[in-house]
Amino acid sequence: MYLQELKLLNFRNYDSLNIQFHPKLNIIVGENAQGKTNIIEAIYLCSIGKAFRTYKDNELIKLDKKQAYIKAVVEKVNNNVEIEMKLDKEDKKKIKVNKIPLIKTGELLGNFNVVVFSPDDLKIIKGGPIERRKFIDNEICQVYPKYYYQLNQYNRILQQRNKLLRESKGKRIDLDIWNQQLANVGSSIIFNRIKFIKRIGILAKLIHRKITDEAETLEVIYESNIPFKENDKINDINEKIISEFKAKEEEELIKRVTVVGPHRDDLIFKINNIEVKGFGSQGQQRTAVLSLKMSELEFIKGEVGEYPILLLDDVMSELDINRQNYLINNLKNIQTFITTTMIEQLKLKDKENKIFYIREGRVSIKD
């Protein structure tokens, strides 16, 4: 798939913008704070329905304006998709796909796939478990929109169960119904995550070996507080969650919070059998994230049947020449967007690209 056209009205620092993209490589050049990432953010928004730098839609609307409008036209193998979004400072955002209004934002998922790689992604390795769970959940949602609803349902039940535990003040309470409900949804979430990490793990290992000239073996391991076995079915996981609830009953009454379930799970990254978070060099951490992002491209291709688009926001300057070359030379069939302050540093070999120069929310183009 590829993004043909993007239209912005009153979005971040753009008054009005209408651009046609190159099906292969698009380079967005400009000094700091000119609006490069704002374009990436608008593209991401049309894919996921949420911005990646803020949870507040109001921040996306131009400071002195009440409403913003974004339109993306995406060409896919079998059909084209037109995504339109209206943001309003005093109303909920409205989304249309091929002119049909969506009832929920979640319905947008699966129409237009993107993989974004920005310096913030180092958090997947260096940050806390919440960052790693966010990474897994975002990726699975893109491919299985049903998972998005499961997560929402799980979080609702979890909040209610936590409220009961908080209000119990340490007294024994009957949580059987809540345990069952949480186990029903939680088992699907864990099952999907294990499946996803298994696939991503195999792909990331292959890619990482290639990027490091066979010197390093990357492992991605799903670490759960539920003692699952590799071939467990959803029912097996469900039963294990229930027995963990029984085993941790006292602990939960003392802590007054749910300690069992996928909201407490994590990911571990190892290179040559050593954990990357604590012992990997900066370069190894960056390369591990690069391998992970590259594996997402292959994963989405496998699930959806076509490559997503790749958004590389401000990451080129952080990679050494070998990694940069690997990226530029291995992405021939994937529409890629690169933001940079220094175009001279990119070793562009062919002419299959379009360069956009950004200055104070205005764009000039060089083919």
* Edge-to-edge order in the sheet of strand 266-271: 218-223, 266-271, 274-275
Find the part of the chain contacting ligand ATP (CB under 6 A) among 26-34, 69-77, 186-194, 199-207: 26-34
* 93 in contact with ligand ATP (CB under 6 A): no
| CB proximity list for 110: less than 8 A, separation 6 or greater | 142, 143, 145, 304
- On whether 33 is known to bind a ligand per the annotation, the reply is yes
Beta carbon of residue 213, minimum distance to ligand ATP (angstroms, whole number): 31
Instruction: Show the binding pattern over residues 283-322: x = contacts ligand ATP (CB under 6 A), - = does not.
Output: -------------------------------x--------
Among residues 130 and 342, whose Cβ is nearest to ligand ATP? 342
* 32 in contact with ligand ATP (CB under 6 A): yes
Beta carbon of residue 323, minimum distance to ligand ATP (angstroms, whole number): 20
- On whether 37 is known to bind a ligand per the annotation, the reply is yes
Among residues 162 and 341, whose Cβ is nearest to ligand ATP? 341
- On whether 34 is known to bind a ligand per the annotation, the reply is yes
Beta carbon of residue 36, minimum distance to ligand ATP (angstroms, whole number): 3
Q: What is the Cα–Cα distance from 212 to 241, expressed in whole angstroms?
A: 39
Total residues at interface with ligand ATP (CB under 6 A): 17
Q: What is the Cα–Cα distance from 279 to 277, expressed in whole angstroms?
A: 6
Among residues 298 and 318, whose Cβ is nearest to ligand ATP? 318
Interface residue with ligand ATP, options 9, 26, 30, 188 (CB under 6 A): 30
* Edge-to-edge order in the sheet of strand 353-359: 114-117, 309-313, 336-340, 25-29, 353-359, 362-366
N-term to C-term CA, the chain: 21
- On whether 31 is known to bind a ligand per the annotation, the reply is yes
Cβ atoms of 109 and 49 within 8 Å: the answer is: yes
Among residues 33 and 365, whose Cβ is nearest to ligand ATP? 33
Enumerate the β-bridge partners of residue 311. Answer: 116, 337
- On whether 59 is known to bind a ligand per the annotation, the reply is no
* 33 in contact with ligand ATP (CB under 6 A): yes
Find the part of the chain contacting ligand ATP (CB under 6 A) among 29-37, 115-123, 152-160, 261-269: 29-37
Cβ atoms of 332 and 24 within 8 Å: the answer is: yes
Among residues 38 and 335, whose Cβ is nearest to ligand ATP? 38
Residues of this chain, 34-73, that bind ligand ATP according to CB under 6 A: 34-38, 59, 61-63
* 12 in contact with ligand ATP (CB under 6 A): yes
Angle between helices 129-143 and 36-48 in degrees, nearest 10: 60
Question: What is the dihedral sign for C-alpha 186, 157, 296, 267?
Answer: negative
Residue type, 358: I
Beta carbon of residue 309, minimum distance to ligand ATP (angstroms, whole number): 18
Q: Where on the chain is the footprint of ligand ATP (CB under 6 A)?
A: 12-13, 30, 32-38, 59, 61-63, 314, 339, 341
User: What residues are designated binding site for ATP?
Assistant: 30-37
